[in-house]
Amino acid sequence: MQHIVALSGGKDSTAMALWLKENEPRDYQYVWTPTGNELPDMLDHIVKLRDLLEAPILPVSIGIGLIEKTKIERMLPNPRARWCTRKMKLEPYYRWLGQQTPCVSYVGLRADEEERQGMVFQQGNGITLRFPLREAGMNEADVWQFLDDRGVVIPARTDCAICYHQTLGEWWRLWKLHPDLFEEGVQIEVWISELHGKQYTLRNASRDTWPAALADLRKEFEKGRVPPRTVQQIDMFRGERRTMTGACRVCSM
């Protein structure tokens, strides 16, 4: 019987994996589903986690990155067409999991989020689901305390660098800290827009009064404009002890 722990790098799955190692030691197969568009902090976190778990963390992916896949799909990911999660995370993971039976699949859902399903994992056909955080009665505060007690720091963002779901402040932070990744977002918007002869943007133009296109947004940032509350956000997350939006709930498993 295989014991499979799906990791997103977020607080819940990180705490679950460490809790299992401490409380139910056995050979686990750790797995994550990268899109190739992760932030450096996230990649560092996976490496540190691998060291803490003293076991490899298997990447399950489609073999190409989010930017390349966007060109194949000829469409930017967006809330109404969230193909990125489905095609780059859920489907490859389901395929892989279906080949590991019989197995127990451990899912990092907490006791205080009974309504949340996370990934719609397959059950049956040799796959048994377990929810260790719920079984242990751990809520969000317990999870943070567990991680703090062990000195484990969760990256401020665990979702994709160019995720359409991020806030304006997160885009500013991406531009400021990772201009190369921001530029990839600019270029993919230009590529898709030229392909269809119409402007498409990752940001939703109706969310605020700032330019939607990343190329135009960057011009505003370069002029010194900083989105409201961004500086406070950075102060707040200095030390990287809390996730910023947690917006991508499925992607954070």
Residue 199 CB, nearest approach to ligand SF4 (Å): 19
Residue 38 CB, nearest approach to ligand SF4 (Å): 9
Pick from 8, 13, 70, 85: which binds ligand SF4 (CB under 6 A)? 85
Pick from 8, 13, 35, 70: which binds ligand SF4 (CB under 6 A)? 35
Distances (CA, A) of 171 to 9, 149, 161, 180: 20, 31, 9, 13
- Residues between 128 and 187 with contacts to ligand SF4, criterion CB under 6 A: 159-160, 163, 165
Residue 248 in the binding site for ligand SF4 (CB under 6 A): yes
> In the complex with ligand SF4, which residue's Cβ is closer, 46 or 248?
248
Binding mask 187-226 for ligand SF4 (x = CB under 6 A): ----------------------------------------
Token code pair at residue 3: 């014991």
From 67-75, 83-91, 110-118, 220-228, give the range in contact with ligand SF4 by CB under 6 A. Answer: 83-91
> In the complex with ligand SF4, which residue's Cβ is closer, 20 or 163?
163
b/e string for 75-109 if b means 16 or more Cβ within 10 A?
Answer: ebbbeeeeebbebbbbebbbeebeebeebbbbbbb
Cα–Cα distance, 43 to 34 (Å, whole number) = 9
Cα–Cα distance, 71 to 87 (Å, whole number) = 14
Q: Checking DSSP bridges between strand 57-59 and strand 2-7, what pairing results, if any?
A: unpaired
25 φ/ψ angles, rounded to the nearest 5 degrees: -65, 130
Token code pair at residue 214: 């990343």
Residue 15 in the binding site for ligand SF4 (CB under 6 A): no
Helices vs strands, H then E, count in the chain: 11, 5
> In the complex with ligand SF4, which residue's Cβ is closer, 84 or 154?
84
Cα–Cα distance, 163 to 224 (Å, whole number) = 23
Residue 36 CB, nearest approach to ligand SF4 (Å): 10
Residues forming contacts to ligand SF4 in the complex (CB under 6 A) are 35, 77, 82, 84-85, 88-89, 159-160, 163, 165, 248, 251
